[in-house]
Amino acid sequence: MVWKQFSATRTANIRICDCLNLGKPTNGHPPSSAKEEKQQEQETHRLSIFLTGAHTAESWQPVSKKTVDFFTLKAFVTNLLTRLGVSGFQETTLNEAPFQYALKLHRGPQELVTFGAVMPTILKKMDLKNPVFFADFNFENVLKALGSNKIQFVELGKFPTVRRDLALVIDQTVGFGDIRQLAAKTAKKMLKEVNLFDVFEDESKLGAGKKSYAVSFVFEDLEKTLQDKDIDALMGQLVGAFEGKLGAKIRS
């Protein structure tokens, strides 16, 4: 199912995280005993991560790494295990489908995660042009490795996010951190992300001691789809806050 969604997306920059239950493989043969039938009925909980395309979101700063690669995915995997408190595992290199090359992290025979580059033959069949990097967690084993660590999970949003952009003319003394902090305080739970994607400085056009920040705002409501009137109201609140507390002017 994840592969079908991934193929259907067909966009250049994708990050997908998906949880699913998988039954034991049957190899095309019916169970030969009650024990084998029970084993086939058992499910394992998997966590999958797919990466392809740009390494970072748009930014006004130059970036050294343009696209994701194996080490990008490795950082995702190891950071997740670190945040969960899982350590003391071994590494084994693999060259088996669906991977062109891969690394397995495990504790003895207990697999935690296998991750690597997807085989070009698979990408060709799915009409995918860019390299794709895939991680497959055996989440049951990961949870067993947690020990006494207390982990809190937050449900992923079911409704689409909405993005709006603003160009703000502000004093040189005002930093992006001031904008982000005020935005979070104003829009509160609806604001999911704030990003600075362009900086413009020209005294002849903006005035002495001024600069222009192009800032994007991503909104999300966990309970319903946001309508235009909802976004307009939020943007009005943000503009009022930036003008009143930061002395900003909106640049068209």
pLDDT value for 46? 87
pLDDT for residue 214 is more than 80: yes
pLDDT for residue 170 is more than 90: yes
Domain-wise residue ranges, the chain: 2-144, 162-250
Measured on CA atoms in the order 197, 200, 205, 209, is the torsion positive or negative? Answer: positive
pLDDT band at 34 (very low <50, low <70, confident <90, very high): low
Q: In DSSP terms, which residues pair with 116 in a beta bridge? A: 102, 134
Share above pLDDT 90 across residues of the chain, in percent, rounded to a whole number: 43
For residues 84 and 146, is the Cβ–Cβ distance under 8 A?
yes
pLDDT for residue 41 is more than 70: no
| Mean pLDDT, rounded, for 161-172 | 95
pLDDT for residue 30 is more than 90: no
Q: For residue 22, which amino acid is it?
A: L
pLDDT value for 240? 96
- The C-alpha atoms of residue 58 and residue 79 are separated, in whole angstroms, by 22
pLDDT band at 248 (very low <50, low <70, confident <90, very high): very high
pLDDT value for 149? 60
| Mean pLDDT, rounded, for 33-47 | 62
pLDDT value for 83? 83
DSSP assignment of 198-233 equals EEE--HHHH-TTEEEEEEEEEE--SSSPPPHHHHHH
| Mean pLDDT, rounded, for 112-135 | 91
Q: Give the closest residue to 55 by CA, choosing from 46, 65, 64, 47.
A: 65
Q: In DSSP terms, which residues pair with 22 in a beta bridge? A: 44
pLDDT band at 28 (very low <50, low <70, confident <90, very high): very low
Where does 2-144 sit in CATH, by number? 3.30.930.10
pLDDT band at 186 (very low <50, low <70, confident <90, very high): very high
Where does 162-250 sit in CATH, by number? 3.30.70.380
Rounded (10°) CA dihedral 65, 79, 183, 239: 30
H-assigned helices in the chain: 2-9, 34-41, 70-84, 120-125, 139-144, 176-187, 203-206, 228-246
Q: Give the closest residue to 72 by CA, choosing from 60, 64, 84, 83.
A: 64
- Residue 185: other Cβ atoms inside 10 A: 11
